[in-house]
Amino acid sequence: MPPPLWALKESLAPLSLGVTETYRQQEGSTLIGMTATLSRIREQAEAACGASRALGVASTAAKNAALERIATLLVEREDEILAENERDLVAGRQAGLDEYLLERLTLTSSRIRGMATDTLHIASLPDPVGETIEARTLPNGLQISRKRVPLGVIACIYESRPNVTIDIAALCLKSGNAAVLRGGKEAVCTNAALGDLLRDALKRSELSVESVQVVRDPDRAQIDELLGMHDVIDLVVPRGSAGLIDHVRETATMPVVAHGEAVSHTYVDEKADLGMAVAVVDNAKTRRYSICNALDTLLVHASIASELLDSLGKRWAGAVTLLGDPGALEVLEKLKVPGLAIEPADSDAWDTEHLALRAGVLLVHSMDEALAHIEAHSSRHSEAIITDSYENAMRFTSEVDAAVVYVNASTQFTDGAQFGLGAEIGISTQKMHARGPMGLVELTSYKWMVFGAGQIRPA
């Protein structure tokens, strides 16, 4: 079978990166290098599976000690990590990597310290493993309960963000799961350094060093092999481009938790506090425009459009390009805000995750119109309303189908750390078994415990 279309984009440099890397084909459909890489990925997955048995029953103290060691090494090895990250950034620029991917790839001293802090936060959280969810006694005397248990082995396939390597490793360790982590080629040097750090931390802990497997070979040929290992991998979480996520969903032989492109809306209601609306909308778009919870489409009630867009336009002049529907364009052209870039929105604008300083602007004349647009174009990730009306706020939260729904707050809060989860393995827009940021609890399942005194089931 030939490789999928998302894998056929030609690389622009010897170190082909992220969404630009390619499957290389021989005549026919044989992939070069497959034999050399697939056996190693199988070894790593089986090693993780073997380690998961002991990890699943490891003490909270042992798991926390390992996490504390990881946090310490992040601080101690900051210079080394930054040097490897710079190698990736140089290669990425040479390869023509998109700006939003470079931004996601970039580590700084502050971000590394944040990774360490998040790891310590995960250590401080309650251990979900072994928690009794419910317990009751049946009329026949059977004592029945449900207890939280780890999922087993979690594989994550991701692009760009090397901080994900630490986030997922930490969450998996605390929740008693082994991890197989396959980062993108664009972060190969950074992830290798972080992989060494994780192994060194585990060597000095009571946990198996095989509990976290960082795949170093970036050859995409091994992804399909990994996705076929349902015998040793219990869950796969893809994070990255829509093409990667779609391929994983279509190919995986084990359960998948993911979200695709995240088109996020903020609706400014006619009863909104406009000063608050400008501040929240600005944060939702510009704080970090390259993340999945950044604003993509601004819906504005026509009755307050002129005042809101005047204030927002002055703030965004020279920075954010507005893609307006005919109604919004008419208002913006009358305002003539100096330096504000405006363009007519095409039909694709409302279904685009911009990941750039661009935002669609659509005028609506009622809550019904706003809800209908969100229903038609939402990716079920993060949606927000700005309003002083309790009735409108409650209607919005009830009728909008999304993993996270906000009232009078920026969508940029959709994040495991911000939600008090320490970090996240990903954000799920699915409805089973988890939705929204996935933290420790979402990385567990449960088993039924039944205690009897000789009961037998009647014929």
Mean of all residue pLDDT scores within the chain: 90
Mean pLDDT of all residues in 345-354: 94
Sign of the alpha-carbon torsion through 33, 37, 39, 41: negative
Residue 28 has pLDDT above 70, yes or no: no
pLDDT per residue as tens digits for the range 32-91: 344 444 579 999 999 999 999 999 999 999 999 999 999 999 999 999 999 999 999 999
Beta carbons of 322 and 330 less than 8 angstroms apart: no
- Segment among 54-63, 73-82, 200-209, 235-244 with least mean pLDDT: 235-244
Residue with tokens 């510009």: 286
Q: Domain 5-251 - what CATH class?
A: alpha beta
Per the structure block, which two tokens stand in for 404?
Answer: 């996270």
Instruction: Give residue 260's pLDDT.
Output: 64
Structure tokens belonging to residue 110:
């502050």
In terms of Cα–Cα distance, which of 352, 311, 306 is closest to 329?
306
How does pLDDT run across 375-411, given as a tens digit for each residue? 999 999 999 999 999 999 999 999 999 999 999 999 9
Record the tokens describing residue 97, joined without a space: 């990597």
pLDDT given at position 352: 94
pLDDT value at 222 more than 90:
no
Share of the chain above pLDDT 90, in %: 79
pLDDT digits (tens, 9 = 90+) for 103-160: 989 999 999 999 999 999 999 999 999 999 999 999 999 999 999 999 999 999 998 8
Half-sphere exposure of 429 (CA within 13 A, CB side): 22
Query: How far apart, in whole angstroms, are the C-alpha atoms of residue 52 and residue 179?
Result: 9
pLDDT average, residue stretch 249-271: 91
State pTM to two decimals.
0.81
Element (H, E) at 28: none
What's the rounded mean pLDDT across residues 272-294?
95
Q: Please compute the mean of the pLDDT values over residues 296-301 and round it to a whole number.
A: 98
The pLDDT score that the predictor gives to residue 183 is: 94
Say what the pLDDT of residue 258 is: 82
With b for 16 or more beta-carbon neighbours within 10 A and e for fewer, the 66-98 pattern comes to: bbbbbbebbeebbeebbebbeebbebbeebebb
Per DSSP, the three-state class of 444 is strand
| Rounded distance between C-alpha atoms, residue 242 and residue 248, angstroms | 10
Name the strand (E) or helix (H) holding 324: strand 321-324
27 pLDDT exceeds 80? no
Alpha helix ranges (H) inside 287-318: 305-316
- The class level of CATH for 264-413 reads alpha beta
Q: For a pLDDT cut of 70, what percent of the chain falls above it?
A: 92
Backbone φ, ψ for residue 295 (5° rounding) = -65, 135
| CB 277, CB 302: distance < 8 Å | no
Helices (H), 271-345: 274-286, 305-316, 326-335
Domain spans of the chain, in order of start: 5-251, 264-413
Handedness of CA 349, 350, 351, 354 (dihedral sign): positive
